[in-house]
Structure 1
Amino acid sequence: MKHKDFSPESLAISGGHDPGSANNSIKPPIYQTSTFKFNTAEEGKAFFEKAKGDAPLEERNASLIYTRLNHPNAITAEFRLAQLDGAEDAAFFESGMAAISTGILTFCHAGDLILMSSPLYGGTDTFIKKHAVQFGIEWAEFEPGASAEDIRQLIKAHPKAGRLKMIYLETPANPTLSLTDIEMIKDLRDELAPEAIIAVDNTYMGPVFQKPLAHGADLNLYSATKYIGGHSDIIAGAASGSEKVIREVKKKRAILGNTASPFTSWLLSRSMETIGLRMEKQASNAQQLAEFLNGHSKVRATHYLGLLDSSDPLYPLFKKQNTSGGAMIAFEVDGGQQEAFRFLNALNLAHLAISLGSTETLVSHPFTMSSSNMDEADRLKNGITPALIRVSVGIENLQDLIKDFDQALNSI
């Protein structure tokens, strides 16, 4: 049987590694080397030509030259992520922001325009609004819930409408969980800017609960530190898409020098073997914790996709794009920053820390932490208030989590 005969879940366990290439080791070894030997000068020349040209992916992967460009551990990890995402190829980076910034700089140049959804992760928002502009890249932003006509008019009215090169989406958004219709955006792109790349930050849903490429995205981006890594022991980023798109991303990655290291790539391969099990348990815990929070007297509002019912206008979009409510919750305590801090300081089991997607439950305060580098007006207009708490639900015993959140809320 060939790879195409097996499911992505199975290929994420052992795909991308041939035991026969490593003394029959079931797990891939860590190739802790900076460079690779050529058998002949002619082979070295051919490898360089394949690495920088348009050779098929298999030939490029076999043309090992230098670890900044490619290495066996990256090949294994990228094969597995591509299977999970339904992509032709994938690329791993040394951080999520490395993946995001490399993706943007691959396709956007001086004088170009990025159209972005709102809100975005604070680091992405800052990169586009305060750093990409230093390269002459302009941006326009649409609000949560904007209609196709709203976005069409926003694009048409912009002086750089003819230079729209990327539409950057984050859905569900961090930390508010607002949704953007990827297929609607694709239709607008095809109508107004056929050459523009649609990039989607899929960090919140991971490769298990959402497949942006299947809905029309060209570039699927992640902080792989989160669910793909899943254990709070890796800093990494990822991109996936067509072979053509990822080839260009990898060229830029090689020049910027942010390819994931062999050890990071090895850890990512390990983690993808259990991503389905972890995320299903996390989502199950999140659903029940969100239901508890939604009924608590000290909670003013609970945001969790699994709480949407069929009467909600967002429900059809949620069911179209997502296969689960995921494991991210945002809720507002009854009060403001003082009450939010009192809750956070009273937790015993959940950890007060930024990041998300790990086996342990992580709780943070976006207004003063992960979104704090956004302008305050942008935070408030997107519902990132001083009362908002972000929760990344882990795999602990559910009743223990509920007890911990209950006692912390009752301290307010």
Structure 2
Amino acid sequence: MSDQKRNYRKTKIGNHKLSPETQMMGYGYDPMLSEGALKPPIFMTSTFVFENAQAGKDFFELAYGKREAAKGEEPGLIYSRINNPDLEVLEDRLALWEDADKGLTFSSGMAAIATSLMAYLRPGDVIVYSAPIYGGTEYLIRNILPEYGIKSVEFESGWDELTLEPALEEAKKLGRVAVIYAETPANPTNGLIDLQRCGDAAKVLEKEQGYKPIVMVDNTFLGPVWQKPLQFGVDVVLYSLTKYVAGHSDVVAGAAVGAADVMGPIQGFRTILGTMCDPHTGWLIMRSLETLKLRMSASAISAEKIAKFLRDHPKVEKVNYLGFLEEGSQAHRIFSRQSTSAGSTFSFDIKGDEAAAFRVLDALQIIKLAVSLGGTESLMEHPFAMTHSDVPDDVKLRLGILEQTLRISVGVENTDDLIADLTQALDAI
């Protein structure tokens, strides 16, 4: 399959470069290798038959890094914990969105994050991370990594001044700074991180400590359509594919994308830990990639109208929507440089307390009361008590995650219907 598959990795017609949304329809797949099937079959197999013993030896040597690949040689199929045709095609297509060398898929977003961090962190190292971030990532960094001798220092994302440099100075006193980890826009406040600033800081640290920290960014909120971190000095881009990429709230998966040399250690850890995505899930995500830009575009258009409605509503105190950034502010400059849309997930603060926020959620009729985001259906939740419940209360309050904060992920329903639902739900306050 591998030799002929290269014929289906077209990126240009003449001098015309093809867009990722076009390449999602066939890149990396040869129908003639699968009985002419237009779409890739689901390869539900644990293992693959070798043509001969030498082929098996060659495949394993390459898979386990015992030798360098010959020119034009690609890894052969061995075992679905190592590689699988569905995952190979999916990973090729994910890399296209970021203009990256290599994509890897995982069983969940947290599997992608944890495997990537473990590949680059060792006892005594320090991770410098932005806050707020997804609650599961926060718990991993704050509570689990210290059990393995890995320290952490937090810096705040925001709409104004950032605290990266002071955090790095503190981290250098604790040990080798091995990873700079950011989530931007932040979950759920939409606070921003200057990605170029993180990349530049890593280069400075390389000169000071003789090791360049790996810059990792969770790009779930805006990527891969509206934000491409690799363009700004980021090494590894992370995703919960469960969200916008899969987009139908029916699978759980994750991904990491980056340069081939950076992704090598992560792939090695994935093989040994067994945190890969399964073939059926990979096939479903391939299906979703074909409509990714359509879905994200429709949701973003609707989200802008809903954000404006909420901003003008008398029972809403604040709307953390990126389209409302003050022109000329630092946050607006960051947003304008590294993003091309405000996306469709944001939080807002009602005028009230937790009880009032719960009344709004319980009154919803179209919008679903559920965690997650990026699906075709609109979802709302209460970050303080739900997605970020394991973050200490004082930290949440300091970062702007309040008892009156609600997070909405706008889907693809009729916008007027969603506004009607929010109107009657806010009446419950």
Matched, 1:291 2:313: no
Is the CA contact (8 Å cut-off) linking 2:106 and 2:112 kept in structure 1? yes
Is the CA contact (8 Å cut-off) linking 1:299 and 1:331 kept in structure 2? yes
**CA distance in 2 between partners of 1:281 and 1:32 (Å):** 34
Matched, 1:402 2:429: no
Matched, 1:13 2:25: yes
Task: Looking at secondary structure, tell me which structure has more helix per residue.
Answer: 1
> What is the DSSP-based 3-state SS (H/G/I as helix, E as strand, rest coil) of the residue aligned with 1:329?
strand
Q: How does 1:17-166 map to 2 (within 5 A)?
A: 17-53=29-65, 55-56=68-69, 61-145=74-158, 150-158=163-171, 160=173, 162-166=175-179
Structure 1 residues 59-68 or 110-119, which shifts more? Answer: 59-68
**CA distance in 1 between partners of 2:166 and 2:382 (Å):** 35
CA change 1:159–1:318 in 2 (3 A) is closer
CA change 1:14–1:58 in 2 (3 A) is farther
Is the CA contact (8 Å cut-off) linking 2:124 and 2:175 kept in structure 1? no
> Which residue pairs with 1:244 in the alignment?
261
Q: CA offset at residue 56 of structure 1?
A: 4.6
> Which residue pairs with 1:232 in the alignment?
249
Deviation per CA, 1:236-288: give whole Å up to 9, x if none: 00110001111221110011101100001101111111000000000000000
**CA distance in 2 between partners of 1:62 and 1:108 (Å):** 27
Matched, 1:346 2:363: yes
> What is the DSSP-based 3-state SS (H/G/I as helix, E as strand, rest coil) of the residue aligned with 1:167?
strand
**CA distance in 2 between partners of 1:344 and 1:372 (Å):** 17
Matched, 1:186 2:199: yes
Structure 1 residues 157-166 or 205-214, which shifts more? Answer: 157-166
CA change 1:330–1:235 in 2 (3 A) is same
> Which residue pairs with 1:176 in the alignment?
189
Residue number among 372, 383, 386 corresponding to 1:366 in the alignment: 383
Residue number among 244, 249, 256 corresponding to 2:273 in the alignment: 256
> What is the DSSP-based 3-state SS (H/G/I as helix, E as strand, rest coil) of the residue aligned with 1:207?
coil
**CA distance in 2 between partners of 1:57 and 1:210 (Å):** 34
CA change 1:58–1:348 in 2 (3 A) is farther
CA change 1:233–1:56 in 2 (3 A) is farther
**CA distance in 1 between partners of 2:70 and 2:198 (Å):** 29
Structure 1 residues 47-56 or 401-410, which shifts more? Answer: 47-56
Deviation per CA, 1:188-238: give whole Å up to 9, x if none: 111123511000000101200000111110000011000010000010001
Is the CA contact (8 Å cut-off) linking 2:240 and 2:255 kept in structure 1? yes
Q: What amino acid is aligned across from residue 97 of structure 1 in structure 2?
A: M
CA change 1:294–1:244 in 2 (3 A) is same
Q: CA offset at residue 153 of structure 1?
A: 3.5
Q: CA offset at residue 86 of structure 1?
A: 1.4
Q: What amino acid is aligned across from residue 324 of structure 2 in structure 1?
A: L
Is the CA contact (8 Å cut-off) linking 2:130 and 2:156 kept in structure 1? yes
**CA distance in 2 between partners of 1:122 and 1:60 (Å):** 41
> What is the DSSP-based 3-state SS (H/G/I as helix, E as strand, rest coil) of the residue aligned with 2:153?
strand
Is the CA contact (8 Å cut-off) linking 1:155 and 1:161 kept in structure 2? no
> What is the DSSP-based 3-state SS (H/G/I as helix, E as strand, rest coil) of the residue aligned with 2:60?
helix
> What is the DSSP-based 3-state SS (H/G/I as helix, E as strand, rest coil) of the residue aligned with 1:229?
coil
Q: What amino acid is aligned across from residue 148 of structure 2 in structure 1?
A: F
Deviation per CA, 1:33-84: give whole Å up to 9, x if none: 0000111111111000011116459977541110011100000100110001
Unmatched tracts of structure 2, length 5 or more: 1-6, 13-17
- Alignment: residue pair count: 411
Q: What amino acid is aligned across from residue 10 of structure 2 in structure 1?
A: H
**CA distance in 2 between partners of 1:75 and 1:308 (Å):** 40
> Which residue pairs with 2:319 in the alignment?
302
TM-score normalised to the size of structure 2?
0.93
**CA distance in 2 between partners of 1:276 and 1:75 (Å):** 21
> Which residue pairs with 2:11 in the alignment?
4
Unmatched tracts of structure 1, length 5 or more: none
> What is the DSSP-based 3-state SS (H/G/I as helix, E as strand, rest coil) of the residue aligned with 2:224?
helix
CA change 1:24–1:62 in 2 (3 A) is farther
Q: What amino acid is aligned across from residue 174 of structure 1 in structure 2?
A: N
**CA distance in 1 between partners of 2:173 and 2:273 (Å):** 27
Structure 1 residues 351-360 or 187-196, which shifts more? Answer: 187-196
**CA distance in 2 between partners of 1:298 and 1:157 (Å):** 41
Matched, 1:216 2:233: yes
Q: What amino acid is aligned across from residue 300 of structure 2 in structure 1?
A: A
> What is the DSSP-based 3-state SS (H/G/I as helix, E as strand, rest coil) of the residue aligned with 1:238?
strand
Is the CA contact (8 Å cut-off) linking 2:151 and 2:174 kept in structure 1? no
**CA distance in 2 between partners of 1:404 and 1:63 (Å):** 53
